[in-house]
Chains A and B, each alone.
Chain A
Amino acid sequence: MYSKDGEDYFVVDAHIALWDARQENQRNVHGKQFIDCFYDYHRNLSPESEVWPYEEYLYQGGERLMRDVFGNGIVDHAIFQPARLGEFYHRGFGQTEEAFALAQEHPDKLTYNHWWDPRDGENGLDQLRADAERFGLKGVKLYTADWHGESRGWKLTDPMAYRYLEACRELGITNIHIHKGPTIRPLDRDAFDVADVDHAATDFTDLNFIVEHCGLPRLEDFCWIATQEPNVYAGLAVAIPFIHTRPRYFAQIMGELVYWLGEDRILFSSDYALWTPTWLVERFVDFQIPEDMAEYAALTTEVKKKVLGLNAAKLYDLPVPERLRLPDAAEPATGPRQPAAADLAMS
């Protein structure tokens, strides 16, 4: 829990990882390119005092993770969102066994989500059922830009992906976290397109679709979809560190998200170990939309409490002390919309 100026914030970090990108786990040059890309994100968007040496960045291990995420008592609960990246790393990027063991050791603090990939076909479906039972899954992390043999990406609307979503529904895996990345076939079209989320969210209204990085770099398309689909959520991973380097841009992101989605569907995420949660929580609580951006409403303490933890706690049924809970807000003026309003879309 974080306390500031007499206010208490229940904090859920909705996106953390326990990765291993050390050289001995790199399968090819892409394994190095991938972690180097992460490290550039880290160096570019972190305050100088929070920048780690490259060697430390490659792997943290469970002990350090517990210290970095929970050491000062600010974060109440965190959720693993592992990326498989089996084509880049011998033992994958997210370390399943290590992360799951840690979650078993600290069930009050950690939730382990796993991944699936529709390109694993029928065998993958069997594996998903086994994983759901073993890990007690409430959520999964999907990475549609993952490489798989000849394929460099997939869509939520692929028929096999629908089979997996149906299995999730049946197994009670209600939280579908999706990270969109480039390289989705065909390259003729927008490689960051989020339209498949729209279709899946319409067809699986009993599942929650949490779009990581709030759809960036397609914030506008994401917002438009989320206004029409009440089961679509924004994860702030990667967006929130702009609070340091580009606070005015971050103000616009928050302004847009609250305007289009309302305050109940935005989730705080540090994306650890890309960044650590402490400085992000502290900055976010102190943050305000600049006065001259008159097009946006101010961020109230209630909005911050919901974003920092209450919204994620609701999705994952985490116990929140009674005194810290808040009621849901009314629907935002902008949505959810009638499908007929979709003709306002411009692209």
Chain B
Amino acid sequence: MLLAGPTETDVRAALGAVVDPELDEPITDLGFVRSLTVTGSAVEVHLRLPTSFCAPNFAWLMCADAHDAVSAVPGVGRVVVELDDHHDSDLINRGLAAGAGYRGTFGHEAEESLDELRATFQRKAHTAAMERALTALLRADRSRTEADVHRLTLGDLPTGAPTTAALLRRRATLGLPTDDAAPVLVAADGTPPAPAEAALFLRKARSVRISVDGNAHFCRGLLATRYPGAEADQTHRSSVDDVPLPGPTRPTIPLEVLS
């Protein structure tokens, strides 16, 4: 029996597993997939990025991951992945076509592998997901304070909430425990901070999350400016900061005048 050819839906679903390591979001949600063509068993994918000068190491990771993800779809034969309009497009596209790998492509600019880079951003992704889950909880229940967060365990987080599910996935990636009794607030190696340092630890995690989310805002906006209509391809991750909670607006006069 002949194997049925891949469908565009299959290939797009496979690309949905490829994430921008820095933004920790699928390239499909970010609008980075410019085009996708399936002809029989052959697949051609074009990727696009927000600027010509996006970091070439992240560009390479996404292109190589996209190539691997598409190649693994049953029935797929020849795969072409190309990065459009980047300062390193020629270099990266030649390297991908030749199967030259990262070091073969970047020569003297590469030292070993991108494994450590990827691991760094997996740790950041966990930190940001942890802060999102905790801040969502603190905002939903104002009786809890930052001083209490060190007592919280995974079982205290709302089951099935997107922030909880996202945190559990990031923990699994790092090999951290995912059972209900495990503390939420931990470093990337699973170590919880001392209780006295927990609030500061959360503040540090918050700065990581704001950096990640802010970069994502920036990248999405620039992509839509660079490629008009790209916003239609973008899906936004919901954030605790998207919608302000109801409440009085802070007056713009200095606080000391009020007190």
A residues in contact (CB < 8 Å) with B: 29-30, 33-34, 36-37, 40-41, 43-45, 150, 152, 181-183, 185-192, 216-220, 223-224, 242, 245-246, 248-249, 252-253, 256, 259-260, 286, 288-293, 295, 297-298, 300-302, 334, 344-347
Give the contacts of B229-259 with A (CB-CB under 8 A).
Answer: 241, 244-245, 247-252, 254-256
**Which of chain A's residues have a CB closer than 8 A to the CB of B164?**
none
Q: Show 6 A/B contacts (Cβ-Cβ < 8 Å), sorted by A.
A: A186-B109, A189-B116, A191-B57, A216-B211, A248-B244, A302-B254
Partner of B207, one of A36, A191, A223, A245: A223
**Which of chain B's residues have a CB closer than 8 A to the CB of A242?**
214, 217
**Which of chain A's residues have a CB closer than 8 A to the CB of B197?**
344
B residues in contact (CB < 8 Å) with A: 22, 50-58, 60, 87, 102, 106, 108-114, 116-117, 120, 123-124, 127, 146, 187-188, 193, 197, 200-201, 203-208, 210-211, 213-215, 217-218, 221-222, 224-226, 241, 244-245, 247-252, 254-256
A-B CB pair tally, cutoff 8 Å: 164
Given that A182-B56, A220-B210 are contacting pairs, would A286 and B252 also be in contact in the complex, using a CB cutoff of 8 Å? yes
Once the chains bind, are B117 and A189 in contact (CB under 8 Å)? yes
**Which of chain B's residues have a CB closer than 8 A to the CB of A245?**
221
Which of A183, A188, A245, A249 lies at the interface centre, i.e. has the most chain B CB atoms within 10 A of its CB?
A188
Partner of A220, one of B53, B146, B211: B211
Question: Which partner residue on chain A sits nearest B123 by CB separation?
Answer: A347
Bound-state Cα–Cα, A300 to B252, Å: 8
Shortest beta-carbon contacts, A-B, top 7: A182-B55, A33-B52, A220-B207, A187-B57, A291-B250, A186-B111, A44-B225
Given that A44-B221, A346-B205, A347-B127 are contacting pairs, would A37 and B52 also be in contact in the complex, using a CB cutoff of 8 Å? yes
Q: How far is the CB of A262 from chain B (nearest CB, A)?
A: 14
Q: How far is the CB of A217 from chain B (nearest CB, A)?
A: 4
Bound-state Cα–Cα, A218 to B244, Å: 25
Q: How far is the CB of A327 from chain B (nearest CB, A)?
A: 15
**Which of chain A's residues have a CB closer than 8 A to the CB of B110?**
186-188
**Which of chain A's residues have a CB closer than 8 A to the CB of B60?**
187
Once the chains bind, are B248 and A291 in contact (CB under 8 Å)? yes
Known A186-B110, A292-B245; 20 more pairs at CB < 8 Å: A36-B52, A37-B53, A44-B225, A45-B221, A183-B55, A185-B109, A187-B117, A188-B57, A217-B22, A219-B207, A220-B207, A224-B207, A245-B221, A256-B210, A291-B248, A292-B244, A298-B254, A300-B254, A301-B254, A345-B204
Partner of B53, one of A182, A289, A295: A182
Given that A286-B252, A290-B250 are contacting pairs, would A152 and B214 also be in contact in the complex, using a CB cutoff of 8 Å? no
Question: Which partner residue on chain A sits nearest B224 by CB separation?
Answer: A44
**Which of chain A's residues have a CB closer than 8 A to the CB of B112?**
186, 188
Once the chains bind, are B204 and A192 in contact (CB under 8 Å)? no
Once the chains bind, are A40 and B222 in contact (CB under 8 Å)? yes
Bound-state Cα–Cα, A190 to B118, Å: 9
**Which of chain B's residues have a CB closer than 8 A to the CB of A292?**
244-245, 247
Bound-state Cα–Cα, A36 to B53, Å: 10
**Which of chain A's residues have a CB closer than 8 A to the CB of B204?**
220, 224, 344-346
Bound-state Cα–Cα, A291 to B109, Å: 47
Given that A183-B56, A188-B117, A290-B244 are contacting pairs, would A346 and B208 also be in contact in the complex, using a CB cutoff of 8 Å? yes
**Which of chain A's residues have a CB closer than 8 A to the CB of B250?**
288-291, 298
**Which of chain B's residues have a CB closer than 8 A to the CB of A347?**
120, 123-124, 127, 188, 208
**Which of chain A's residues have a CB closer than 8 A to the CB of B58?**
191
Once the chains bind, are A40 and B208 in contact (CB under 8 Å)? no
Once the chains bind, are A217 and B117 in contact (CB under 8 Å)? no
Once the chains bind, are B210 and A219 in contact (CB under 8 Å)? yes
Once the chains bind, are A248 and B241 in contact (CB under 8 Å)? yes
Question: Which partner residue on chain B sits nearest A287 by CB separation?
Answer: B252
**Which of chain A's residues have a CB closer than 8 A to the CB of B218?**
216-217
Question: Which partner residue on chain A sits nearest B121 by CB separation?
Answer: A190
Once the chains bind, are A187 and B252 in contact (CB under 8 Å)? no
Partner of A291, one of B57, B113, B214, B247: B247
**Which of chain A's residues have a CB closer than 8 A to the CB of B114?**
187-188
Partner of A44, one of B106, B127, B222: B222
Once the chains bind, are A188 and B193 in contact (CB under 8 Å)? no
Bound-state Cα–Cα, A293 to B250, Å: 10
